[in-house]
Amino acid sequence: MPYLNIRWKIVSTYLIIILVVLLVLSAFLLNTLYSYLFDQRKMDVLTDTNIIASIVSEDFTTDYINQKLPQMPLEKNARAIVVNTGSIVLYDSYKETSMTGKTFINASITNALLPNGKNSSNAFKDNGSWFIDATVPIIKNGQTVGAVYLIVSGDSVASIIAHIQNSLVLLGALILLFVGIFSTSIAGVLTFPIERFTKFINNMPKDSLQHVQINSHDEIGQLALAFNNLIDRMAELEEKRRTFVSNASHELKTPLSIIKLLSDSLIQTENPDPEFIKEFLSDMNKEVERLTRIIEKLLDMTQMDSSQSSMQFIHTDIREITGEVYEKLLPLAKNKDISLSLNQPDDEVILPVERDTLTEAVYNIADNSIKYTEPGGTVSINVSRDLGSVYIDIADTGIGIPKEEIQKVFDRFYRVDKARARETGGTGLGLSIALDAVKLHNGHIEVKSEEEVGSRFIIALPYAEELTPAEASPSFKGE
């Protein structure tokens, strides 16, 4: 299909509709007019023929006819012929090509000469001209003695119709012209805002996101509103991306500056003793490990962002996941003299989950509990369920989180106590990864925490129809 813009689509639709309506209307009008005018004309000719027939029936002799009929006021070019029962012409009003004495026969004369012969009248076209004829039997004393045949030109009717036809064509052309102009301006009014909108988008500077002005409340106004909402979302995403990049660079820069500082002082120290070198190298090593951890977590996160479509949700017993996390953390808890416990139902707790992602989420939360609990404390992992969801509840008797910080702990790189986090090696990414993972399963995380008393993180996973990554919470992306 060739490219046709909306303006021309509107104009051509209008024109086609009007053209079809005009054609149908004129065909109907001309047809009605045609039959009306010709019927009228046929009646007139038949009346004239009847008059002639009644005159000649008074005295049906050649003398009488030839004396009486020339006085009849016939219309111009009309031809009257009188025949006897043998179809021999007794009178012909055309003197030049007179048929008097000859046989003149046609279907309507034959019909009229039959006993109980009938009147008839026809309109026909011959050699491009219209004619109207009429035949009437001549009846004397109840007996058919002959017939009158009258033929006149029908061209006047045809020319009236042709005239009207021309007027209709002219009128149609005017209507089409008017509709053309009218629909072009309507189409212009309709498409102008779209063109303005497109121009605005094309001219928008590459490095900024701007709102389009909304001038109406119609569909185009709605489109502009949706566009502005999209711009807002993009700006929000862009802001998040910027913060993320600046946070990430900052986090990566800190260990790097420490390494630089340590190596500089090593280089500048003349003849350092081996103990000193070893201490510096081990500090540098710690920073390298920290860098590695941050990078690994960043990779985890971006992988979750990008590989959603390759993720597989498989029916899994949640107890296997919590069991695996428990086993992994047990040595860590023992080391720190923390009692770690696991409580779960006796029967299976099946949910379709992306196993690795969910395991990571549970691990990150339980790992925090151990990390932020003083020796001698307890950490418990509980699995339970109700009709709607499965809950993984991880509670500790640790240092707790200040009320105003509770929601922030899910932000990327956020740590409540920065100095302490450096000691514990925290990157501030663990909980944001956990939240992303839980959202991917359409779930949410509830946090209850009190400083110096402890914290409780409850992961709620709804029983859902078969989950596919595409159906997974859209809020996950870009968060």
Ligand X SMILES: Nc1ncnc2c1ncn2[C@@H]1O[C@H](COP(=O)(O)OP(=O)(O)OP(=O)(O)O)[C@@H](O)[C@H]1O
Q: What is the dihedral of CA 6, 7, 10, 11, to 10 degrees?
A: -150
If one asks whether residue 439 binds ligand X (CB under 6 A), the answer comes out as no
Assign residue 271 a region (left: φ > 0; alpha: ψ between -120 and 50; beta: otherwise): left
Selected binder of ligand X within 280, 326, 363, 372 (CB under 6 A): 372
HSE-CB at 212 with a 13 A cutoff on CA atoms is 27
- What percent of the residues of the chain are helix, what percent strand, and what percent coil, each to the nearest 5? 55, 20, 25
The piece of 39-47, 263-271, 341-349, 368-376 that touches ligand X (CB under 6 A) is: 368-376
If one asks whether residue 421 binds ligand X (CB under 6 A), the answer comes out as yes
| Residue 290 binding partner per list ligand X, Mg ion, none, with a CB distance cut-off of 5 to 8 Å that depends on partner kind | none
| Residue 316 binding partner per list Mg ion, ligand X, none, with a CB distance cut-off of 5 to 8 Å that depends on partner kind | none
Q: What values do phi and psi take at 349, rounded to 5?
A: -125, 90
If one asks whether residue 399 binds ligand X (CB under 6 A), the answer comes out as yes
Q: What values do phi and psi take at 51, rounded to 5?
A: -60, -45
Applying the rule CB under 6 A, the residues between 266 and 305 that interact with ligand X are 297
Smallest gap from residue 321 Cβ to Mg ion (A): 18
Smallest gap from residue 319 Cβ to ligand X (A): 22
Q: What is the dihedral of CA 34, 40, 46, 52, to 10 degrees?
A: -130
Selected binder of ligand X within 7, 41, 42, 415 (CB under 6 A): 415
Residue found by looking up tokens 């990779």 in the block: 299
If one asks whether residue 326 binds ligand X (CB under 6 A), the answer comes out as no
If one asks whether residue 57 binds ligand X (CB under 6 A), the answer comes out as no
Contacts with Mg ion, residue ranges (CB under 5 A): 368, 430
Spacing of C-alpha 340 from chain mean position:
56
The piece of 20-28, 183-191, 219-227, 364-372 that touches ligand X (CB under 6 A) is: 364-372
Q: For the window 203-242, what string marks contact with ligand X as x by the rule CB under 6 A? A: ----------------------------------------
If one asks whether residue 364 binds ligand X (CB under 6 A), the answer comes out as yes
| Gap between the Cα atoms of 167 and 205, Å rounded | 58
Selected binder of ligand X within 255, 377, 430, 443 (CB under 6 A): 430
If one asks whether residue 183 binds ligand X (CB under 6 A), the answer comes out as no
> Which ranges in 269-380 belong to alpha helices (H)?
274-306, 318-335, 355-371
Smallest gap from residue 448 Cβ to Mg ion (A): 17
Query: What are 214's two structure tokens?
Result: 């909304």
Q: Which residues contact 31 (CB under 8 A, 6 or more apart)?
A: none
Which of 231, 197, 189, 236 has its CA nearest to residue 214?
197
If one asks whether residue 401 binds ligand X (CB under 6 A), the answer comes out as yes
Smallest gap from residue 324 Cβ to Mg ion (A): 18
| Gap between the Cα atoms of 118 and 49, Å rounded | 13
Judge whether 102 and 89 are in contact, CB under 8 Å: yes
In the complex, which residue's CB is closest to Mg ion? Answer: 430
Which of 329, 252, 290, 272 has its CA nearest to residue 426?
290
| Residue 183 binding partner per list ligand X, Mg ion, none, with a CB distance cut-off of 5 to 8 Å that depends on partner kind | none
If one asks whether residue 322 binds ligand X (CB under 6 A), the answer comes out as no
Contact residues: ligand X, CB under 6 A: 297, 364, 368-369, 372, 396, 398-401, 409, 414-417, 421, 426-432, 455
